């Protein structure tokens, strides 16, 4: 299983970003790696693509304005960033990543400034793929003229055993000058792997003066790692689900872990039979793109074809006007669509739909990529090592060793003993709190409208709402056994921990992340039943102070 690399010289992300995203939405399969040159980005502008991690390298102000590199990698594809030390005299901009055993270097350089020294440290890597705009002209790849960058690049090919996999199809269109077409966007590959790489130049310019180049690597690699697919509850056959649960949920075993394993397996298998799951294909959505945008882009392509046939000044001017009009129409379509959405909002609008639209319009999306972590002078690069480093950091942050010794040894025991004494004197013994849970309590807890993210078992709240009375009684027996024995299933002790980056913190430090735990929804349902009973007990016996309004039903802190 190989992967695909898309490279494109945008000529400015600000001008052509929307048309580029629409182009991605038309592709059947999204490329695994997107390499964008001359992004011209500033730190305030944070463009993003859904289902992709973004790595960028903005042009240093000391080296002049413009340039800039941007690489987007699928979230399902594991990669690590490569730091390349270049000679101080080199003007080559490099952004490197390691993907599936290949070292991919995304490069660009100002016009005719490429030197042999620019490739000095790239020979230290194996299975190299070097792609970018080198601004190099040479007869080897079909250029009419030869410049210094072209001669340096040819020397580098021999010295570092690299091969150009491009055809002679040009990629750059100059609206000025004698030679309009030239091949500037090249793909260089280690000679031993050139046979498995195929590079093609598309006819799409997307508002820039350089076309999109697609490179397919057909090497045998490890399969992609996809996340857990989501349940499509809107297309579920709930009667089939309920009947399947009734058929498989039988007698209750005396062994707690075995009984819970049977219950969890029965519900999950019934869900797989009756509830479809989201497909693993990734699509980019541009919701505000309309027919006017399609017409403007079509007119621009028509003007481009006319200019390419004649190269008259009149046709060149028409093309430039159509290109400018297409950019203006696209921006106006996005603005008018946002205005229409804002005016349609009412007090009854579903908040989930509101946030979905906002995310589709927003260019700033949080990235789930975790770079190489540094802990005690040790670099964690692969997933397993990063997981262990973060686990140690989370355990250290939650340790009781963080509390002062006086608080642990003196204050906490005294406060706990005093609270127990007050409860034993003021609270009567109520046998109702120890009674078995009833079916009414379970149904009341199941009817919670929230459908939160499941844990490792992938069982959701929505499934509980469609269980029959027979299946709910089996679940109730399981909960009552846990309630009386004081033991919980061992699977409840294992959960998914998601590290979330803290704002304005260096991402290479483990302390810059906070954990979020995704536990079993069956466990959360049981916890809710226990909480409701304890809340009733505290309210009925008036144990809580009358001034306590926070975290209580039908009360708020402003009361």
Q: Assess whether 200 and 265 both reside in one domain.
A: no
313, 344, 361 - which closes a domain: 361
Residues of the chain with pLDDT > 90: what percent?
16
Same domain as 114, residue 242: no
The pLDDT score that the predictor gives to residue 296 is: 92
What pLDDT does residue 67 have?
72
Say which CATH number the domain at 140 has: 3.60.10.10
Given a cut of 80, is residue 355 above it in pLDDT? yes
Residue 11 CB partners (closer than 8 Å, separation 6+): 38, 207, 208, 209, 210
d(CA 219, CA 194): 10
pLDDT of 90 strictly over 80? no
- Contact residues for 302 (Cβ-Cβ < 8 A; gap 6+): 322
Q: CA neighbours within 13 Å on the CB side: how many for 167?
A: 9
Has residue 337 been placed in a domain? Answer: yes
The per-residue pLDDT for range 441-460, each reduced to its tens digit, is 999 888 876 777 888 888 98
Distance of alpha carbon 31 from alpha carbon 5, whole angstroms: 6
Residue 25 lies in a domain: yes
68 or 543, higher pLDDT: 68
Report the pLDDT value the prediction gives residue 65, as an integer from 0 to 100.
52
Query: Nearest-CA neighbor of 107 among 82, 74, 144?
Result: 82
Q: Is residue 555 part of a domain?
A: no
Q: Write out the residue range of the structural domain in which residue 513 sits.
A: 233-280+427-540
Answer whether residue 177 shows pLDDT above 70.
Answer: no
Residue 368 has pLDDT above 70, yes or no: no
| Same domain assignment for residues 476 and 529 | yes
SS3 428: coil
Residue 425 has pLDDT above 80, yes or no: no
Query: What's the whole-number mean pLDDT along residues 501-513?
Result: 84
Q: Of 189, 217, 245, which residue is a domain's last?
A: 217
| Per-residue model confidence (pLDDT) at position 527 | 92
Q: Is 47 left (phi over 0), alpha (psi -120 to 50) or beta?
A: beta
CA distance 205 to 20: 9
Does residue 559 lie in a domain region? no
Residues 42, 114 within the same domain: yes
Q: What is the pTM of this model?
A: 0.71
pLDDT, greater one: 253 or 319: 319
Report the candidate in 90, 100, 103, 72 with the shortest Cα–Cα distance to residue 7. Answer: 72
The encoded tokens of residue 46 equal 């944070």
Domain contains 455: yes
Does residue 417 lie in a domain region? no
Mean pLDDT of 50-61: 78
For 247, 276, 468, the CA distances from 237, given in Å and listed in that order, are 16, 9, 14
- State the number of CA atoms in the 13 A half-sphere of 408 facing the CB: 7
Answer left, alpha or beta for residue 51, where phi above 0 means left and psi between -120 and 50 means alpha.
left
Q: Judge if 12 and 156 occupy the same domain.
A: yes
**Number of domains the chain contains:** 3
Judge residue 29's burial from the number of C-beta atoms within 10 Å of its C-beta, 0-12 exposed, 13-18 middle, 19 or more buried: exposed
Please give the Cα distance from 404 to 406 (Å, whole number): 5
Closest CA to 82 of 92, 94, 72, 73: 94
List pLDDT tens digits, range 264-315.
889 999 999 999 988 765 667 788 889 999 999 999 999 988 888 888 888 8
Distance CA 188, CA 7 (A): 13
What pLDDT score was predicted for residue 123?
66
Mean predicted lDDT score pLDDT of the chain: 83
Q: Which of 361, 387, 407 is the last residue of a domain?
A: 361
Gyration radius of the chain's alpha carbons: 31
pLDDT at site 121: 72
Shared-domain flag, residues 274 and 311: no
């Amino acid at each position: 299983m190989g992967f695909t690399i898309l490279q494109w010289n945008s000529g400015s992300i600000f001008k052509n970003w929307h048309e580029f995203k629409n182009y991605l939405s038309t592709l059947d399969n999204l490329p695994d790696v997107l390499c964008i040159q001359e992004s011209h980005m500033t730190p305030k502008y944070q463009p993003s693509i859904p289902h992709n991690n973004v790595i960028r390298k903005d042009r240093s102000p000391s080296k002049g304005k413009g340039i800039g590199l941007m690489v987007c990698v699928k979230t399902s594809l594991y990669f690590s960033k490569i730091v390349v030390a270049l000679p101080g005299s080199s003007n080559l901009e490099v952004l490197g990543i390691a993907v599936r055993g290949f070292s991919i270097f995304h490069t660009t350089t100002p016009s005719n400034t490429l030197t042999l020294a620019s490739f000095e440290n790239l020979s230290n890597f194996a299975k190299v793929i070097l792609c970018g705009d080198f601004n190099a002209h040479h007869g080897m790849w079909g250029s009419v003229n030869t410049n210094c960058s072209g001669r340096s690049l040819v020397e580098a090919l021999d010295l570092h055993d690299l091969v150009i996999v491009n055809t002679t199809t040009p990629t750059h269109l100059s609206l000025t000058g004698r030679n309009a077409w030239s091949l500037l966007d090249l793909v260089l590959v280690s000679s031993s792997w050139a046979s498995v790489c195929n590079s093609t130049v598309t006819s799409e310019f997307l508002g820039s003066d350089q076309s999109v180049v697609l490179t397919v690597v057909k090497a045998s690699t490890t399969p992609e790692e996809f996340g857990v697919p989501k349940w499509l509850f809107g297309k579920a056959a709930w009667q089939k689900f309920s009947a399947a649960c009734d058929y498989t949920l039988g007698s209750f075993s005396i062994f707690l872990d075995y009984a819970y394993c049977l219950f969890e397996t029965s519900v999950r298998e019934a869900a797989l039979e009756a509830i479809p799951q989201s497909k693993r294909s990734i699509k980019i959505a541009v919701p505000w793109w309309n027919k006017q945008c399609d017409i403007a882009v079509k007119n621009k392509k028509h003007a481009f074809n006319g200019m390419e046939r004649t190269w008259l000044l009149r046709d060149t001017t028409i093309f430039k006007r159509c290109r400018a009009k297409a950019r203006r129409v696209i921006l106006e379509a996005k603005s008018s669509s946002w205005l229409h959405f804002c005016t349609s909002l009412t007090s009854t609008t579903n908040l989930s739909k509101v946030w979905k639209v906002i995310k589709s319009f927003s260019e700033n999306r949080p990235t789930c990529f975790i770079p190489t972590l540094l802990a005690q002078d040790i670099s964690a690069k692969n997933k397993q090592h990063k997981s262990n480093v973060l686990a140690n950091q989370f355990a250290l942050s939650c340790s009781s060793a963080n509390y002062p010794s006086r608080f642990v040894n003196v204050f906490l025991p005294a406060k706990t003993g005093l609270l127990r004494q007050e409860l034993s004197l003021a609270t009567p013994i109520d046998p109702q709190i120890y009674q078995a849970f009833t079916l009414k309590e379970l149904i009341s807890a199941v009817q919670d409208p929230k459908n939160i993210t499941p844990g490792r078992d992938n069982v959701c709240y929505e499934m509980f709402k469609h269980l029959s009375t027979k299946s709910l009684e089996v679940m109730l027996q399981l909960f009552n056994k846990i309630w009386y024995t004081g033991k919980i299933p061992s699977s409840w002790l294992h959960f998914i921990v998601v590290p979330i980056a803290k704002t304005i913190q260096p991402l290479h430090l483990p302390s810059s992340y906070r954990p979020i735990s995704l536990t079993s929804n069956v466990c959360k349902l049981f916890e809710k039943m226990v909480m409701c009973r304890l809340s009733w007990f505290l309210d009925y016996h008036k144990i809580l102070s009358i001034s306590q309004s926070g975290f209580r039903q039908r009360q708020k802190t402003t009361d």
